[in-house]
Amino acid sequence: WLCPVHTKGYQFPDWAYKTESSPGSRQIQLWHFILELLQKEEFRHVIAWQQGEYGEFVIKDPDEVARLWGRRKCKPQMNYDKLSRALRYYYNKRILHKTKGKRFTYKFNFNKLVMPNYPFINIRSSAGVVPQSAPPVPTASSRFHFPPLDTHSPTSDVQPGRFSASSLTTSGQESLSDGTDRKAELSELEDGSATDWRRGVDLMSSRNAVGGGGIGHQKRKPDIMLPLFTRPGIYPDPHSPFAVSPIPGRGGVLNVPISPALSLTPTIFSYSPSPGLSPFTSSSCFSFNPEEMKHYLHSQACSVFNYHLSPRTFPRYPGLMVPPLQCQMHPEESTQFSIKLQPPPVGRKNRERAESSEESAPGSAPAAAPIPPRIKPAREKEGHAQEEGTVPSRTTEEEKGTIFVRPAAPPVWPSVPPGKEPNTSEKKEDALMPPKLRLKRRWNDD
């Protein structure tokens, strides 16, 4: 078991590879391990990304995953019951959340790590233009660390964060060993992700980056600094800030002013149908694909609505409007969402009832619909004799799954239409109504 980071290229950003050296974690972490398995095709029959939902994965063989985990941790008594308990501890930490109704299905909260750094993204511009079926395979963000945004003012665009190459932080000494987090995400307005985010920062900065050009040290400053990595060809979007001016501002660093209006959409993600074959995996460059990012963020927004996550999970930034109805990527999913968009559930009971009824809703488009993983019908114990050495038997299904599905039609945001509102009086009413009530009203109306 060699360090995953040194195996074959970067499939995930550094934060996914917490190392022993990382403060606060001397040993492999479960989510880290999960990511590791997810990364390898050999385990595709044991655990795999769920198609259609970014960051969602299915444990196809709970016993096997538990066994592997137990082996890694030298806990022969490990089983899915225990493993899942550990997984559940991630709920509060916002590392994972459960996909209700789907057995053995969980979802990573990647947004926790990404969102704080892209508050200025305008998701509206192009929702659902990006491939949908590919698993979240963040790539090549390795050399960077993203200082957290000012936690206290998520909306203060005047205090943008700053990107800097972690290779610059030779000391890697940001060790923000904050013992201030946990459970603290109670306050409605504070984004508890900030503390976690710092962790992510640690992870990345702790990684001794490859010497990528000697740029001087830099301290955190309120201006955004985007590392300059000229990678011709990886910026398909002409609107990418990098496509615009790849010329170094100074010292090889681009100083890009942030404004909420600016559709600056750098992304550390790159969805590749076949992780191992990603053209980017070999590079350690920053890749920016606005479309992907937007889609990703949108997907996350959907999660917030569909999984009843706290809105806190999805930072509220100006210009970041994510109407639930926009979540219809797949025709089949659209039915899901429309149903889920019923008035907020009152209690757990209600929630579950709604979900179950939704599950039974007739799916209309079988087209490229991701096949719901057939979970061990009867817990059949087909000999998984070998594991690591197992030859991945690529099923045609899997291949199909890598096909990008284009959403039916580019949706138009129903909320806050630039045009006019149907009912003027109601509008006025709304204006007088407290935000909460207004929202509730909308829930009920639509």
Which C-beta is closer to DNA: that of 85 or that of 436?
85
Which C-beta is closer to DNA: that of 161 or that of 200?
200
Piece of the chain touching DNA by CB under 7 A; list 29-37, 334-342, 410-418, 434-442: 29-37
SS3 content of the chain, % helix, strand, coil (to 5): 35, 5, 60
Contacting DNA within 135-194 (CB under 7 A): 179, 182
Contact flag: residue 29 with DNA (CB under 7 A): yes
Per-residue contact string for residues 208-237; x = within reach of DNA by CB under 7 A: ------------------------------
Piece of the chain touching DNA by CB under 7 A; list 24-32, 40-48, 135-143, 431-439: 24-32
Find the shortest distance in angstroms from Cβ 371 to DNA.
Answer: 18
Task: Render 92-112 in DSSP notation, one character per residue.
Answer: HHTSEEE-TTSTTEEEE-HHH
Look up residue 404 and give its two tokens.
Answer: 């990008």
Size, binding site for DNA by CB under 7 A: 31
Query: Which of 2, 6, 77, 422 is the binder for DNA (CB under 7 A)?
Result: 77
Which C-beta is closer to DNA: that of 82 or that of 442?
82
The strand ranges marked E within 71-154 are 96-98, 105-108, 144-145
CA distance 146 to 101: 35
Which C-beta is closer to DNA: that of 165 or that of 203?
203
CA distance 371 to 267: 28
Find the shortest distance in angstroms from Cβ 391 to DNA.
Answer: 27
Contact flag: residue 75 with DNA (CB under 7 A): yes
Burial of 372 (0-12, 13-18, 19+ CB in 10 A): middle
Contact flag: residue 239 with DNA (CB under 7 A): no
Contacts of 417 (CB under 8 A, 6+ apart): none
Look up residue 12 and give its two tokens.
Answer: 């995930």
Q: What type of residue is 82?
A: K
Piece of the chain touching DNA by CB under 7 A; list 26-34, 109-117, 276-284, 409-417: 26-34
Residue in this structure with the two tokens 């710092």, named with its chain if needed:
198
Find the shortest distance in angstroms from Cβ 310 to DNA.
Answer: 13
Q: What type of residue is 87?
A: L
Contacting DNA within 78-117 (CB under 7 A): 78, 80-86, 88-89, 91, 93, 98, 100, 102-105
Query: Which of 12, 17, 31, 110 is the binder for DNA (CB under 7 A)?
Result: 31
Which C-beta is closer to DNA: that of 70 or that of 213?
70
Which C-beta is closer to DNA: that of 105 or that of 284?
105
Pairing of strands 96-98, 105-108: antiparallel
Q: Which helix (H) or strand (E) holds 254?
A: strand 253-255
Q: What type of residue is 423?
A: N
For residue 369, count other CB atoms closer than 10 A to its CB.
Answer: 17
For 240, 274, 439, the CA distances from 234, given in Å and listed in that order, are: 10, 17, 40
Residue 368: name the closest of 323, 406, 311 by CA.
Answer: 406
Piece of the chain touching DNA by CB under 7 A; list 22-30, 156-164, 260-268, 424-432: 22-30
Q: In the complex, which residues of this chain contact DNA (CB under 7 A)?
A: 24-25, 29-31, 62, 69-70, 73, 75, 77-78, 80-86, 88-89, 91, 93, 98, 100, 102-105, 179, 182
